[in-house]
Chain A
Amino acid sequence: EVHLVESGGGLVQPGGSLRLSCATSGFTFSSYEMNWVRQAPGKGLEWVSYISSSATTIYYADSVRGRFTISRDNAKNSLYLQMNSLRAEDTAVYYCARDLVLVRGVFDYWGQGTLVTVSS
């Protein structure tokens, strides 16, 4: 069974940093493209970042480009999101999400999410 488990969220001051992790199991992680998607409290979904299976292709939403860095460790079956220069508007539940095989940009499995709160 496919499992995605995020961790690393919490309360951080504006301008601070946080690193999110997503531990995966139940599938061959190194064969799948992965994403981070976020949801501000009471709001809709926003795609944040994408990384290809071998990490050779990476995309970011304009709202986070230059501040966030996506990475992966295929040996550890894990996905990461390094978030720097955090702003209040980055407050959200952050989900890691797996791409549907051969369909880039469709998310077939999601973690339960980890809450990031940016506040002084």
Chain B
Amino acid sequence: EIVLTQSPGTLSLSPGERATLSCRASQSVSSNFLAWYQQKPGQAPRLLIYGASSRATGIPDRFSGSGSGTDFTLTISRLEPEDFAVYYCQQYGSSPPWTFGQGTKVEIK
């Protein structure tokens, strides 16, 4: 099973700032099958990025994903008030189990 470790646990930033979130895998993620989700309190997760760098339908271009192998990054270029939330990375290699990281909380500084 691939274990995903996200850092930092909490990111304290102000609106307009750039957010950089990291996700490290315990072994190489095949074909860069890495996704990112956003979750706000009391809500279901929302798909942001899949294939490490492809934005899901309707996701603003301030969200971008990068990386390969074992190291992946989600970047939010300029934080909007609605972007303060918890972010999860997830690997979806060819065979389950598909696993999530423990999450990074982006909070208002």
Contact = CB atoms under 8 A, between A and B. Distances in A.
Interface in A88-120: 95, 100, 103-108, 110-113
A9 B66 CA distance: 38
Interface stretch (A13-21, A42-50, A78-86): A42-50
Chain A interface size band reads 20 to 34
B92 A95 contact: no
Contact of B92 (A45, A46, A104): A104
Contacts of A107: 35, 37, 45, 47
Contacts, number: 57
B44 A113 contact: yes
B35 A106 contact: yes
B33 interface: yes
A71 B83 CA distance: 35
A16 to B, nearest CB: 25
Interface string B65-97: 000000000000000000000001010110011
Chain A residues touching B, majority SS: strand
Given A44-B101, A44-B102, A100-B50, A106 B92 contact: yes
Nearest to B39: A45
Interface residues of B, number: 25
A95 B45 CA distance: 9
B98 A105 contact: yes
A62 B97 contact: yes
Nearest to A49: B96
Interface of A: 44-47, 50, 59, 61-62, 95, 100, 103-108, 110-113
Given A44-B102, A47-B98, 9 more contacts: A45-B39, A47-B99, A61-B97, A103-B50, A103-B92, A107-B35, A110-B45, A112-B43, A112-B44
